[in-house]
Amino acid sequence: MITTIRPWKQDDLDELVLYANNRNVWNNLRNYFPHPYTTESGLAWLEKVVDAPLPAINFAIEVDGTVAGGIGLILNGDVYIKSAEVGYWIGEPFWGKGVATEALRQITEYAYATFDLVRLYAEVFESNKASMRVLEKNGYYLEGVRRKSVFKNEILMDDFIWVKLRGW
Ligand SMILES: CC(C)(COP(=O)(O)OP(=O)(O)OC[C@H]1O[C@@H](n2cnc3c(N)ncnc32)[C@H](O)[C@@H]1OP(=O)(O)O)[C@@H](O)C(=O)NCCC(=O)NCCS
């Protein structure tokens, strides 16, 4: 199985909607990720990311030629200019096969090679042990817990901040 990250293409619409339209994916993401994830949602996403200015910050995750998810960076501004958040999702049929681990490895390497960053981080809901394991496997460490900072599905949760500093 070969996992790669690559820029989004207009052709990705059907696979994007097929895998993104899943409550089990959405449950672990912020509410700006649409649910239900319609064709219009997919078109709006592709409108934003296809042919976006370089260097790219959003990528499709491709597994053996199929779009299996997405991964991206949010570059911070102001005094946080040296930090970026990383976020990702994998279509449910591809879970448990090491896809997120490999995609995170690739974007971490890309981020430090491409941008003048010193800090990459992810913010993970407390229930999402699989994502925390993906970060741990990539050398990210648990920096802290923001108690009761997330309100999702009518449930108040902690979120866990995982960090990988440049060169560590
Ligand atoms: C979380 C998610 C990204 C994981 O993707 P994935 O491709 O299945 O992850 P991988 O296969 O690379 O690794 C998963 C690891 O978590 C482990 N794991 C899975 N469920 C677990 C659980 N309930 N408790 C502890 N570890 C768990 C797996 O065993 C594996 O670790 P291992 O290699 O040591 O065995 C994927 O489930 C997903 O996209 N979920 C919805 C969106 C999301 O959560 N995005 C991240 C937001 S921070």
pLDDT in tens, the chain (168 residues): 999 999 999 999 999 999 999 999 999 999 999 999 999 999 999 999 999 999 999 999 999 999 999 999 999 999 999 999 999 999 999 999 999 999 999 999 999 999 999 999 999 999 999 999 999 999 999 999 999 999 999 999 999 999 999 998
> Structure pTM?
0.98
Please tell me the predicted confidence (pLDDT) of residue 25.
Answer: 98
Ligand 1 centroid to 133 CA: how many Å? Answer: 6
Ligand 1 centroid to 95 CA: how many Å? Answer: 7
Please tell me the predicted confidence (pLDDT) of residue 146.
Answer: 98
Ligand 1 centroid to 36 CA: how many Å? Answer: 22
Q: Where are the domains of the chain?
A: 3-165
Please tell me the predicted confidence (pLDDT) of residue 23.
Answer: 98
What distance in Å separates the CA atoms of residue 142 and residue 100, rounded to the nearest whole number?
18
Please tell me the predicted confidence (pLDDT) of residue 46.
Answer: 98
Please tell me the predicted confidence (pLDDT) of residue 168.
Answer: 87
Fold of 3-165: Aminopeptidase (3.40.630)
CB-defined site of ligand 1, < 6 Å: 25, 28-29, 88-90, 95-101, 122, 124, 128-131, 133-134
Under 8 Å between Cβ of 84 and 123: no
Q: Which of 21, 4, 143, 126 shows the shortest CA–CA distance to 65?
A: 4
Please tell me the predicted confidence (pLDDT) of residue 118.
Answer: 98
